[in-house]
Amino acid sequence: MRAKEIAPKVYEIDILNASDEELKEINESMGLALSLEEMKKLQKFFISLGRNPTDIEIHAIAQGWSEHCSYKSSKPVLRKYIFGIPSKHALIVMQDDAGVVEFNDEYAYVFKIESHNHPSAVEPYGGAATGVGGIIRDILNMGAKPIALVDPLFFGPPDYPYENLNPGIKHPLYLMQGVIAGIRDYGNRVGIPTIAGITYFHEDFVNNILVNAGCLGIVRKDKIVRSVVSKAGLKFVLMGGRTGRDGIHGVNFASKILTEKSEEERQAVQLGNPIIKEPLIHAILEANDAGIIKGMKDLGGGGLGSVIGEMCHAGGVGAEVHLDKVLLKERNMAPWEIWVSESQERMLLAIEEKDIEKIREICEKWDIEMSVIGQSVEGSYLDIYWYGEHIVHLPLEFVTAGVEYERPYKIKKIEKMQEIPKEPNYRNVLLSLLSSYNIGSKEWIIRQYDHEVQGRTVLKPLQGIINYETHGDAAIIKPLKDSWKGLAITTAANPQIGKIDAYKGALYTVDEAIRNLVAVGARPHSFSDGLNFGNPEREEIMGEFHESCRGLGDAARFLGIPYVSGNVSFYNEAFGRNIPPTPVLMAVGIIDDIRKAVSADFKKDGNSIYIVGETREEMGGSEYYKLIGAKSTLAPEVNLEELKGRMEEILKAMNKNLITSCHDISHGGLAVALAEMSIGGNIGVEIDLSSMGFMRADFKLFSESPTRWVCEVKRGKEEEFERIVKARRIGAVEGENLKVRDGNRWLFNIHTNILRGSWRNALRNYLG
């Protein structure tokens, strides 16, 4: 690489005369993560300008073109399926850092889910904490107060043998404990309740864990801030943490495959500092209340470069930046490092000159550092200065518009087959399922997160009698003191069904999100999609991506529920293995009156038990088949008409206060749902499966067919319930045991304490 120093720590790179080989070498040695095609495009551009670029110019462009920033592989697919689902409530959709949806006349809620997979695989504690920090900033920069967090997590099995680990790969238990500690210490310290999530274990995630984090905030509509600078003369104020070498090339790291060497990519792992973030949240909200923020964006992937570029480009103005004004953690940083650094806890505000004093005052009160680093200008150019030297002069369009690919894809053919196992010992199967790590109690995790802070959590993640609680389907937040209206929040994913059939897996995921929201009495309102996939340069992975997006799109469009924000994480590949397609949904529902919320624990002797929805012999991806080692590629099939129908019916019955508890049927099927409801209410039920029709009892009990719920209906209200909801009565609440028969044949009879014991031991066996 030929380079010459033209200003302190700024080099002009000779690319005009570079051969393909040299272009590759430049890409390699500068760590740009661009393809040769892209390098050539870059070269052509500078040939047209008739000059060589500076190193910082090349970095700025590479950053803008990274998969992470430009969505170059995913955009065309997202546009086709995910974007543009019409909705009356959605206010800002897929434009800024988070989606904004109407809550009531005066307020809107803001939310998004995002991935932080690779950094967490390398450094679980810091990686996960940073993921949480990043998603909080996305909410904050819309001017919203963050009020809830969620954390869908995917690991290898906790009992995975150490000997089988690939070099450089850490054990699932180590990763899980680190990730959870990172989320706990960050979320708790900034005072935002973590109220829902997923903890899923499977061999498919041994080499490549998934750490997703979502955040929801609330904002008065007139206080929404856009990530746009639409006027010249506004000052850029950089506040919060200082800029350092941590996190340089994080976005490129996210778009690479994990290898043995990934351990060395420490620089790409940023570290969050909640004790800067917490006052930063206060300060930003105070400044927003004072009405002085004219545009704002957080510094996440891509650092200053993508923030200033995108904000100004979106608003049709140019930018002038003085990098020597940026407060640094360490001296001797080169300008390009400052420009692309992804150091945490930083926000960029666009402020009128006259308000600079005001923002200074606020920062002083909260002990936060800030500096003015530039301003918006007329025109469409990015100009960067370094101690007076002019080191970047580029059209913003070229830097931020990025590139797009229609990557080739191949959709896999599925051979349908299903083994039919011998009839099992029902008691043993149920207890084994309850104590399996994907079904058993997640209390060990949930209680380490402060899910009560802010006092808004009116339906908790753990539900039932105090210290006997079971898993709930969704948590409910009451965002405003003077309104009974609430937001239900849940997350859903099902990688095993997706692995069989990405399309059906996506439908199933939407179905599960809807089920969870409806189970607590909330009307599904909007989604954020976190799309975790393998290497998009492989046709079959791109095929999975297409199919997943098609499924997500079909389901949501049919139901009229928009995706308002989301995130794509590709390159979840390690040691030649790709993760299964794992679209994760963060779903939000509205409940008009939180006093009508329904929890999952059985309430009262004598109440009737109903099953809503159709049970079918489709065992593909089920926990039961996994337990007994039987094979099936019959993935559960979602019927969207049925989903919509049952949803409306249940919500109607809940509104009439007919239902005293409700739980969706998911992992482990009907038997597990009943057991969980008994555990939380510390009360038994007697069930007869015969009304479910003619089918093997193990399928009735353990099938994971979609669109199903168990409802407990108030004694005496059965008729009214049956008039509203299409359902079958299968039994009643009574005694202390879970008793199940199929007609005359008793299948099992287990005391709630024994159920609870098995269920609670699932993680305890590994964690103590």
Partner 1 sequence: MLKVTIIVKLKEGVDDPEGKTIKHSLELLNFEGIKEVKVAKLYEVYLDLPLEDGKKEVEEMIKKLFVNPIIHDYEVRVEEI
Partner 2 sequence: MRVAILQIEGTNCEEESYTAFKELGQEVEYLHLNLLKKGKRNLEDYDILFIPGGFSAGDYVRAGAIFAARLKAIAMRALKDFVDEGKIIIGVCNGFQVLIELGLLPAVDGISEKPEAALMTNDSNRFECRWTYLKKENESIFTRDVPNIISLPVAHAEGKFVTEKKTLERVIENKQIAFKYVKPDGSRADYPWNPNGSMEDIAALTNPEGNVLGIMPHPERAFFPYQHPDWNRKERERGDGFWIFKSMISK
Ligand X SMILES: Nc1ncnc2c1ncn2[C@@H]1O[C@H](COP(=O)(O)OP(=O)(O)O)[C@@H](O)[C@H]1O
What are the catalytic residues?
Answer: 68, 116
Establish if 9 lies at the interface with partner 2 (CB under 8 A): no
Residue 447 interface partner, choices Mg ion, partner 2, ligand X, none, CB cut-off 5-8 Å depending on type = partner 2
Only one residue has tokens 């006093």, namely: 595
Query: Which of 473/618 has CB closer to Mg ion?
Result: 473
Under the binding rule (CB under 5 A), the answer on residue 114 touching Mg ion is no
Instruction: Examine residue 162 and tell whether it contacts partner 1 (CB under 8 A).
Output: yes
Residue 664 binding result from Mg ion, partner 2, partner 1, none, given CB thresholds of 5 to 8 Å by partner type: Mg ion
Residues 579 and 582: their CA atoms lie apart, in Å, by 8
Are 526 and 489 within 8 A, CB to CB?
Answer: no
Total residues binding Mg ion (CB under 5 A): 4
Place of tokens 């059209």: 395
Q: From ligand X, partner 2, partner 1, none, which one binds at residue 197 (CB under 5 to 8 Å depending on kind)?
A: ligand X
Residue number, 42 or 561, with CB nearest to Mg ion: 561
Tell me the DSSP string of 152-206. EEEE--TT--GGGPPTTPPPHHHHHHHHHHHHHHHHHHHT--EEEEEEEE-GGGS
Q: How far apart are CA 111 and CA 526, in angstroms?
A: 10
Could you say whether residue 440 binds partner 1 (CB under 8 A)? no
Count CB-CB contacts under 10 A for residue 656. 13
Q: Which of residues 454-473 bind Mg ion (CB under 5 A)?
A: 473
Bridge partners of 145, per DSSP, are: 218
Residues that bind ligand X (CB under 6 A): 151, 153, 194, 196-199, 442, 445-446, 461, 471-473, 516, 666-667
**Is the distance from CB of 101 to CB of 525 less than 8 angstroms?**
yes
Query: Taking CB within 5 to 8 Å according to partner kind, which of partner 1, partner 2, ligand X, none is near residue 458?
Result: partner 2
Six-digit token pair at 250? Answer: 């994080």
- Minimum CB distance to ligand X, residue 745 (Å): 28
CB of 186 to ligand X, least distance (A): 13
Q: Does 516 bind Mg ion (CB under 5 A)?
A: yes
Residue 245 beta carbon to partner 2: minimum distance, rounded to whole angstroms: 23
List the one residue out of 147, 150, 139 whose CA is nearest residue 224. 139
Q: Which residues contact 335 (CB under 8 A, 6 or more apart)?
A: 9, 10, 56, 323, 384, 386, 391
Span near partner 2 by CB under 8 A; candidates 124-132, 324-332, 457-465, 669-677: 457-465
Closest Cα partner for 489 from 58, 110, 49, 64? Answer: 110
Residue 472 site contact among ligand X, partner 2, partner 1, none (CB < 5 to 8 Å, cut-off depends on kind): ligand X
Binder of partner 1 out of 32, 153, 271, 439 (CB under 8 A): 271
Question: What length does the chain have?
Answer: 768
> Is 48 strand, coil or helix?
helix
Q: Which is nearer to partner 1, 405 or 766 (CB)?
A: 766
CB of 517 to ligand X, least distance (A): 11
> Cβ closer to Mg ion: 372 or 585?
585
HSE of 469, CA atoms in CB hemisphere, 13 A? 16
Kindly indicate which of the ranges 265-273, 535-543, 618-626, 651-659 contains the residues binding partner 1, using the contact rule CB under 8 A.
Answer: 265-273
DSSP labels, 87-112: -SSEEE-SSSSSEEEE-SSSEEEEEE
Report in angstroms how near the CB of residue 452 gets to partner 2 at its nearest. Answer: 5
**Binding piece for partner 2, criterion CB under 8 A, among 120-128, 370-378, 465-473, 665-673:** 465-473
Stretch in the footprint of partner 2 (CB under 8 A) among 95-103, 183-191, 372-380, 432-440: 183-191
Strands 573-574 and 475-477: unpaired
Contacts of 711 (CB under 8 A, 6+ apart): 609, 610, 611, 612, 650, 653, 659, 661, 662, 721, 725, 727
Binding residue for partner 1, selected from 146, 152, 178, 731, defined by CB under 8 A: 178
Sketch the per residue contact string, 270 through 289, with partner 2: x for CB under 8 A, - otherwise.
----xxx-xx----------
Which of residues 72, 112, 603, 739 is near partner 2 by CB under 8 A? Answer: 603
* Near partner 1 in 323-362, by CB under 8 A: 329
* Shortest Cβ 142–Mg ion spacing (Å): 29
Q: Is 367 in the site for partner 2 (CB under 8 A)?
A: yes
Segment interacting with partner 2 (CB under 8 A) among 9-17, 213-221, 269-277, 293-301? 269-277
Beta strands 709-713; 745-751: pairing state: unpaired
Size of the site for partner 2 (CB under 8 A): 42
- Does 282 bind partner 1 (CB under 8 A)? Our answer is no
SS3 300: coil
Task: State the minimum distance, in angstroms, from the CB of residue 478 to partner 2.
Answer: 7
Nearer to partner 2, 454 or 749 (CB): 454
Residue 189 binds which entry of partner 2, ligand X, Mg ion, none, CB below 5-8 Å type-dependent: partner 2
Cα–Cα distance, 15 to 285 (Å, whole number): 46
* DSSP symbols for 661-701: EEEE--TTHHHHHHHHHHHHHT--EEEEGGGG-SS-HHHHH
Nearest alpha carbon to residue 103 among 195, 224, 284, 227: 224
Residue selected from 122, 251, 338, 665 as contacting partner 1 according to rule CB under 8 A:
122
What's the number of CA atoms in the CB half-sphere (13 Å) around residue 59?
A: 28
Provide the 8-state DSSP code for 66.
S
- Using CA of residue 162, residue 164, residue 170, residue 175, what is the dihedral sign? negative
Residue 366 touches which of Mg ion, ligand X, partner 2, none (Cβ within 5-8 Å per kind): partner 2
Residue 511 in contact with Mg ion, rule: CB under 5 A = no
Task: Compare residues 227 and 569 and give the one whose CB is closer to ligand X.
Answer: 569
Tell me: does residue 263 bind partner 1 (CB under 8 A): yes
Mention every residue, 6+ apart, whose C-beta is less than 8 A from residue 547: 411, 501, 502, 503, 506, 581
Q: In this chain, which of 366, 409, 575, 766 binds partner 2, going by CB under 8 A? A: 366
Backbone angles phi, psi at 72, to 5 degrees: -65, -30
Q: What is the torsion angle, in degrees rounded to the nearest 10, for the CA atoms of residue 673, residue 497, residue 194 and residue 655?
A: -50
Identify what 442 binds: Mg ion, partner 2, ligand X, none; CB under 5 to 8 Å per kind: ligand X
Q: Which does 448 bind (CB under 5 to 8 A by kind): partner 1, ligand X, partner 2, none?
A: partner 2
| Cα gap 711→520, rounded to integer Å | 11
Tell me which of 116, 235, 322, 478 binds partner 2, using CB under 8 A.
478
Cα of first residue to Cα of last residue in the chain, in angstroms, is: 55
**Contact indicator for 310, 401 with CB cutoff of 8 Å:** no
Q: Is 452 in the site for partner 2 (CB under 8 A)?
A: yes
Query: Which residues of the shown chain bind Mg ion in the complex (CB under 5 A)?
Result: 473, 516, 664, 666
Query: Which residues of the shown chain bind partner 2 in the complex (CB under 8 A)?
Result: 184, 188-191, 274-276, 278-279, 364-367, 444, 446-455, 457-458, 460, 462-463, 465-467, 469, 478, 481, 594-595, 597-599, 603
Query: Which residues of the shown chain bind partner 1 in the complex (CB under 8 A)?
Result: 122-126, 162, 170-171, 174, 178, 244-246, 263, 266, 269, 271-276, 329, 766-768
